[in-house]
Every structure is written in C-alpha cells, then in structure tokens.
C-alpha cells in the first residue's frame, strides 16, 4: 500500500484540479495536486513538498477532508485529501499538463482518476444547497 496525499484548495466557490502528464499512468486524467509520501515524511510535509515541486506554491494543510483506498492495476494507494490554503505564490505548471478552477457542478465535465470518484461525490454532496 502506497500512502498518497493531495490538496483540496478552494478559491471562492471553485476548487483546483490538475491534469496528469500524458506520459504517466492515468495520463491526461484530472486529479488533485499531491503525490506519494516518502519514507519518514509526515503527510503534511509530503503535501507541502509536492505542491512546491508540482506548482511552485506554498500551502498550509488544514484538516483532513477524507481518506480513500483504491486498487489500480499497477498500484494500491491510501489517499488522504487535506483541505489546504495557498499561503504564497501563484500556481505554475511544473509537472501537470493543465490546471483549472472548477465548481462542484462542473465535476462531471472532467475525466478524473478512479481513486477520486468517491471524493468528488462527497464534494458534490457537501456543496449542494
């Protein structure tokens, strides 16, 4: 099982999604910014490092939004999604193909990684009036 962390970052009524590089597994699918937790690294520190490496932003992890486990053909992950805020910088695409800020009502317009499906349903449910 590989521990993975990701950030749910809101800007008003929209949240950030990133498009995976075409050459990676699940290429061009959409996901939350984040990545694998390295040996001896806290989940929060891993998320800070990943956001710095992938988007050149500094973030502050807040509480855990949700946790999911998912089995892909090539990897089994335990994904922890943190609510987070950008403390400095503007996102720059250092690894991803694209970045968007979307409303929960727009989720179905994008093809997300399968592990994110349960998370996206929770976002939809939490934001419906």
pLDDT digits (tens, 9 = 90+) for 55-81: 999 999 999 999 999 999 999 999 999
Report the chain's mean pLDDT, rounded to a whole number: 96
pLDDT confidence tier of residue 126, bands split at 50, 70 and 90: confident
Q: What is the mean pLDDT of residues 5-21?
A: 97
Query: Does the pLDDT value for residue 129 go beyond 80?
Result: no
56's CB contacts (< 8 A; 6+ apart) are: 89, 91, 92, 94
Q: Report d(CA 72, CA 50) in Å as an integer.
A: 21
Q: What is the mean pLDDT of residues 104-110?
A: 97
pLDDT at position 128, please?
59
């Amino acid at each position: 099982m590989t521990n993975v962390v990701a950030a749910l970052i809101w800007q008003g009524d929209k949240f950030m999604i990133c498009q995976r590089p075409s050459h990676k597994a699940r290429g061009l699918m959409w996901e939350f910014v984040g990545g694998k937790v390295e040996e001896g690294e806290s989940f929060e520190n891993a998320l800070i490092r990943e956001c710095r490496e992938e988007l050149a932003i500094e973030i502050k992890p807040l509480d855990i939004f949700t946790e999911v486990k998912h089995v892909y053909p090539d990897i089994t992950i335990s994904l922890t999604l943190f609510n987070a805020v950008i403390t400095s910088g503007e996102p720059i695409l250092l690894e991803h193909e694209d970045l968007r800020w979307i409303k929960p009502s727009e989720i179905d317009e994008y093809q997300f990684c399968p592990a994110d499906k349960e998370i996206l349903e929770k976002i939809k449910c939490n934001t419906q009036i």
